[in-house]
């Protein structure tokens, strides 16, 4: 992340957030049993970033985005180094996690043999939409829908940017 925030264009900050979002989704998909959790997180984050980007770009001045070659080189170097570090960490942690998952599955099968009726799998996606568990998903979807509606209404009723005109 660059150290000079005053000169940062919102498009560059959005690109940085997207890269962080992709790295988090990749990390989640390697450590979970199904890739749906990372996909759902990625789609929620992309949708909310699109809404926030629409809102913030209506406030900013028409800044010209000028990128210097040193910034591009440093930015690409940081991205490559972060990707290499993430791949290395994911590989080493996956090897350690493989041992613990085998141990966990042995314990889980013993519990399933003892009380099969009371076991609830936390990685099952259907539990997210069951009666007692669906409130957080429902609240996040309603929040995103309401914020999208309000932002679009504010922009369409004014017919100009939301920033203060001098």
Alpha helices (runs of H) in the chain, residue ranges in sequence order? 10-31, 36-57, 69-114, 135-158
Residue 17 has pLDDT above 70, yes or no: yes
- pLDDT > 90: what percent of the chain? 0
Is the CB of residue 127 less than 8 Å from the CB of residue 36? no
**Domain ranges in the chain?**
10-158
Range 20-28 contact pairs with CB under 8 angstroms and sequence separation of 24 or more: 21/45, 21/46, 21/49, 23/82, 23/83, 23/86, 26/86, 26/90, 27/86, 27/90
Q: Greater confidence, 11 or 110?
A: 11
Residue 27 has pLDDT above 80, yes or no: no
* Greater pLDDT, 6 or 55: 55
Lowest mean pLDDT among 17-31, 47-61, 106-120, 150-164: 106-120
Closest-CA residue to 66 (of 14, 12, 2)? 12
| For residues 10-28, average pLDDT | 77
pLDDT at 12 over 70: yes
Place of tokens 């690109």: 15
CA dist 28 and 54 (Å) reads 27
The pLDDT value recorded for residue 63 is 60
Max avg pLDDT among 18-22, 140-144, 158-162: 18-22
Distance (Å, whole) CA 62 – CA 52: 17
> Binning pLDDT at 50, 70 and 90, where does residue 153 land?
confident
Better pLDDT: 143 or 92:
143
Mean per-residue pLDDT of the chain: 69
Q: How confident is the model at residue 39 (pLDDT cuts 50, 70, 90)?
A: confident
Residue in this structure with the two tokens 């890739």, named with its chain if needed = 35
The answer, yes or no, to whether residue 36 has pLDDT greater than 70, is yes
């Amino acid at each position: 992340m660059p150290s000079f925030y005053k000169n940062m264009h919102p498009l560059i900050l959005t690109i940085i957030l997207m890269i962080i979002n992709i790295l988090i989704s990749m990390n989640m998909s390697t450590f979970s049993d199904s890739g749906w959790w990372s996909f759902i997180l990625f789609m929620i984050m992309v949708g909310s970033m699109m809404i926030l980007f629409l809102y913030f770009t209506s406030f900013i001045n028409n800044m010209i985005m000028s990128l210097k070659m040193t910034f591009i080189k440093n930015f690409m170097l940081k991205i490559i180094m972060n990707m290499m570090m993430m791949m290395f960490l994911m590989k080493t942690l996956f090897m350690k996690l493989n041992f613990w998952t085998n141990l966990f599955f042995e314990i889980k099968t013993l519990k399933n043999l003892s009380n099969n009726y009371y076991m609830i799998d936390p990685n099952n996606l259907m539990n997210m939409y069951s009666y007692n568990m669906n409130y957080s998903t429902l609240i996040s979807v309603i929040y995103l829908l309401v914020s999208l509606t309000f932002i679009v209404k504010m922009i369409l009723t004014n017919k100009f940017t939301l920033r203060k005109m001098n």
